[in-house]
Amino acid sequence: MNLAQNSEQSDTREFILEKAIHLFAGQGYSGVSMRNIAEMVGISPAALYHHFPSKQKLYLDTMQYAFADKSTGIKEAINTTGTLSERLEDFIRQFTKMVAADQNFQRLMQRELLDGDEARLKLLAEHVFLDTYQSITELINELATDWDAHMLISSIAGLVIHHYESNSMRQFLPGAKPEHNDPDVVASHVNRLFQQALQTSKREK
């Protein structure tokens, strides 16, 4: 296979993944068939199986593709120069922007959690999120040795994700403001909560 063919294969594969993101986000894993994806892409099912030998493989690659740029951004934020507290702030800011910017990725994760398929969730945890998660854990363990890193990461993620998931209802409650959906405003709020909690923890030692 020459370079031109390699490039064409890569372009086709990326095009399939882009289309698959929208289908899986809209209909979930169970609601999408390989035939559905092949029709949307404009190729035969046989051609689709040439690129992805199974639906599970296509789905896992789709999630990896959807998260790849986000993982890179999070790792860059964690590994910036600065104090540990500043690096935590950078992580929270980057994570908040990621959640706010990509509704398809939000829907993909919501559907997975609602479906509750343990085998698929285990695959996603191990093959999509683990490397990034370990980088965040290392930062937390350096910054707050007496905190449970797993719980702290879950709390940060929960605050940010729920904030955007609940917007369709939250906007009608008293005190809601348009700027509450600005990622910088949300990140600043979450950072303030955790920085104050960390300071309180240090004073109580």
CB 97 within 8 A of CB 187: yes
Homologous superfamily assigned to 56-203: Tetracycline Repressor, domain 2 (1.10.357.10)
Report in angstroms the alpha-carbon separations of 197 from 189, 193, 194, 200. 13, 6, 5, 5
Distance CA 172, CA 153 (A): 29
* pLDDT per residue rounded down to tens, the chain (205 residues): 443 444 556 688 999 999 999 999 999 999 999 999 999 999 999 999 999 999 999 999 999 999 999 999 999 999 888 898 899 999 999 999 999 998 888 889 888 988 889 999 999 999 999 999 999 999 999 988 888 999 999 999 999 999 999 999 999 999 999 999 999 999 999 999 988 888 777 766 6
Distance CA 161, CA 110 (A): 10
Domain boundaries of the chain, sorted by first residue: 56-203
What digits encode the pLDDT tens for the residues 5-32?
445 566 889 999 999 999 999 999 999 9
Contacts of 110 (CB under 8 A, 6+ apart): 165
Q: Compute the Cα dihedral for 64, 152, 167, 188 and give only its sign.
A: negative
SS3 184: helix
**R_g of the chain, CA atoms, integer Å:** 20
